[in-house]
A and B are shown apart, each in its own frame.
Chain A
Amino acid sequence: MPVTQLSTRLPHGAAGSAPAASQPRIRIRDVTLSYGPLQIIGGVSLDIVPGETICIIGPSGCGKTTLLRMLAGLAQPTSGSVELDGAVIGGPNRSVAIVFQDYGKALLPWRTAAGNVSLALEARACPRAERPAIIRELLEKIGLGRHTEKYPAEMSGGMQQRLQIARCLAQEPKVLLMDEPFGALDAMTRQALQDEVLGLVATTGATMVFVTHDLEEAIYLGDRIVCLQPNPGRVGRIVDVRLARPRDQLLTREDPEFLRLRRELYDLIKDDHQ
């Protein structure tokens, strides 16, 4: 095992640990975003290769969520560009799915679990006859196989968030965006869902961008961790996570490298707060 090292790059650095030959799935180029005189994001550049999991951390107000919304096409940069497979993202795109933190607002309360997943299939004009099988498979995969006919109001927070993830998977996205998806869940549920998501990303080969304020979650999930700094939001450091996969809630978290990274990131974030 090579000596693990903390790699520190400037915002304009080259693509990450992936082979240089592969074209980036997402390329963020000198992106800024302002509301009137207020600059939210000031010059962010980042390349994300296919299949990579990027975690974005940073103090509140650093533009984590705003950056994610730009990747989703829900917000447009004031200058610079965001590209998906070489094409500029000009608006929402079905190959990019986003899981919102407030699952209670993002689900249709009048549709059952199956109905909510079905919405994504209806949107991409999936033939009616094929839908039930796809829905059942997705809900099984996410652990809601026995709850297909329940309404969101009858589900726990964890189940609702699973449902939202299932709906995003029904889009068959190349890129999965997660906006602090487990922030409102209890610790046990959160860990179960982390493993669930890692498994899904591994099997589908999707690229994931995961925004969180939980350092351990970022280390546990990510291939690289992007630390944003506030006022205006910009990339402070990018940290490589060289932890073996598949990861394990107990073993990975006890790994000395995990602990070292946690210390490293903690000091980084603490500096930003001062």
Chain B
Amino acid sequence: MKNFSLRKLLLGCATLVLFILVWKLVTDAKLISPIFFPGPERTYAALEKGLSGGALLTQTLETVQRMLLGWLLASFVGVFLGSLVGISKRARAFIAPTLELLRPLPASAMIPIAIAFLGFSDNMVLVVIAFGALWPMLLATIHGFAAMEPRLYEVSAVLGLSRGQVIWKLALPSAMPMILASLRLGLTISLILAVVGEMLASRAGLGQSILAASRSFRSADLFAGIVILGAVGLVGSRLLSFGERRLLRWQAVNR
């Protein structure tokens, strides 16, 4: 990590402790009704009970599985289609503007359409996740291909590389920084849409469980769910950052 130091670690931990302490003080003083706002101890107890008792654990697995499945689907389709469109200047001229036009469309607005076709089903949620996470990857791949150093196209022509070799050895690696960044964004979107999908379609998972907890005023369970969702997001993005750094070592020496 950037400028890692002991001072930073100590200060960071101290602030975190302070943060939790303030949280405890606020709830202990009943500034907000404990029905709505649990203290750190109650949240921790709910977390421990949920994870050991199993309900929270299986829900987490459901959500993570949904998120990963949709993300993987979007990654493969996005990078594959993006490569096809990106490698040809003509395809880019015809197709890219339409894709740009569709980009600002909120993925969640597709949920009603997906419901109309697939009903309140697991597949509906999966399609919504994949569709939402698809855009950044598709557009990043196309842009990455378009942004390839023109000199490299000449190098490939002089060396006599085949079209497949140009895609695999030149265009994809040169677009890789953009693609990897979009994969990380895609994972964030996948988690959000997994939660939204579960809330709307009442499919098993953390989204449904925190909504139910909120409706029956089990605020400790609700907060426990949120903590886990945060942890899932954190682990996911950290793993991808780690992979990114490994794959882009050639770039790190630039800095």
Contact = CB atoms under 8 A, between A and B. Distances in A.
Contact, chains A and B (beta carbon distance below 8 A): yes
A72 interface: yes
B251 interface: yes
Interface string B133-173: 00000000000000001011011111111000100011001
A110 B149 CA distance: 13
Nearest to A69: B154
B174 interface: yes
Contacts of B251: 109-110, 153
A105 B152 contact: yes
Interface string A151-171: 101100000000000000001
B213 to A, nearest CB: 47
Interface in A52-83: 72-74
Interface in B195-219: none
B33 interface: no
A105 B149 contact: yes
Given A74-B154, A110-B176, A119 B253 contact: no
A108 B159 contact: no
A25 interface: no
Nearest to A171: B159
B165 to A, nearest CB: 7
A220 to B, nearest CB: 26
Contacts of B160: 92-94, 123-124
A86 interface: no
- The dominant DSSP class at the B interface is helix
- Interface centre among B151, B170, B251, by most A CB within 10 Å? B151
Contacts of B249: 151
Given A105-B152, A108-B152, A119 B157 contact: no
B250 interface: yes
A241 B253 CA distance: 44
Given A122-B165, A124-B160, A108 B151 contact: no
B173 A110 contact: yes
Contacts of B157: 73-74, 91-92
A74 B158 contact: yes
B254 interface: yes
A30 interface: no
A92 B174 contact: no
Given A74-B158, A109-B250, A123 B165 contact: yes
Contact of B169 (A74, A96, A122): A122
A102 B151 contact: yes
A215 interface: no
A74 B253 CA distance: 32
B152 A106 contact: yes
A96 B155 CA distance: 12
9 contacts: A74-B154, A94-B158, A94-B159, A97-B158, A105-B151, A110-B173, A110-B251, A120-B159, A153-B254
Given A98-B158, A105-B149, 8 more contacts: A92-B157, A92-B158, A108-B152, A110-B174, A110-B176, A123-B161, A154-B253, A171-B158
